[in-house]
Every structure is written in structure tokens, then in C-alpha cells.
Amino acid sequence: MEQREIICTTCPMGCHVTVTMEDGKILDVKGNTCPRGDAYARQEVTDPRRVITTTIGLTDGNVLPVKSDNAVSKNRIPEFMQKIHHVAVKPPVQIGDVLIPDIDGEGNNIVATQNATA
């Protein structure tokens, strides 16, 4: 039997959650004070996900801050970073513009988080 201790980040409470697993199967989740903590802990031990924040090149030589519009699988982030860093975007760009659609095959996009003028 394996136990994993994590700190829930879904709200400011920061609950210390213990997940008990056996053969990769979750047997028990303890320490969360709300249902969101239970869901977070289960997700974190089976398929941790993160929002990507980075920069993308502009054709004028500058860079533009971007992020994924949803959390993506943590173990695939290096793959996505390679895709992002091989793209150059031509200004103008507006906040929220989708610069790389469906980067992960699950509908998650890379979007601009700042404006860039031509």
C-alpha cells in the first residue's frame, strides 16, 4: 500500500490531503475539507495537470506572453513547449487570441495574455 501526501491548491485553505493507493488504484482520500479537495487529490495522483505559462516569438523579434486556456497533462508539457517555441506569430495580436489551437488533442489552446501591435 502506498500513501501520497499532497497540499490541495484549489482554494486558499491548503488542506494537507493523504491519498492511499494500492496497485495504482485509489483506496481512500483523507484530509480535504470540501469535495473539490477530493477531486483535486484524485486528479493529482493519477494525471497531474498544469496551466502552461511561457512566451512565444513574434515575427518582429519580440516575444509575447501566452498561456494554455486550460490545464494540460503535466507529463506532456515538454512536448508542448517544443511546439510553442517553434512558432512565430505575426502582430497584431489581441489578448485572448488563439495562437496555437488544440495543442494537446483535447481542445486546449495556447492564447495571448498581452496585446502586440504591428
Query: pLDDT per position in the chain (118 positions), as tens?
Result: 999 999 999 999 999 999 999 998 999 999 999 999 999 999 999 999 999 999 999 999 999 999 999 999 999 999 999 999 999 999 999 999 999 999 999 999 999 999 999 8
Buried b (16+ CB within 10 A) or exposed e, 61-73: eeebebebbeebe
Q: What pLDDT, on a 0 to 100 scale, did the predictor assign at position 118?
A: 81
Say if CB 89 and CB 59 are below 8 A apart. yes
Q: What pLDDT, on a 0 to 100 scale, did the predictor assign at position 103?
A: 94
Q: Class of the 53-112 domain?
A: alpha beta
Place of cell 506569430: 89
**How does DSSP assign 47-90, residue by residue?**
S-EE--EEEEEETTS-EEEEEESS-EEGGGHHHHHHHHHT-EEP
Domain ranges for the chain: 2-46, 53-112
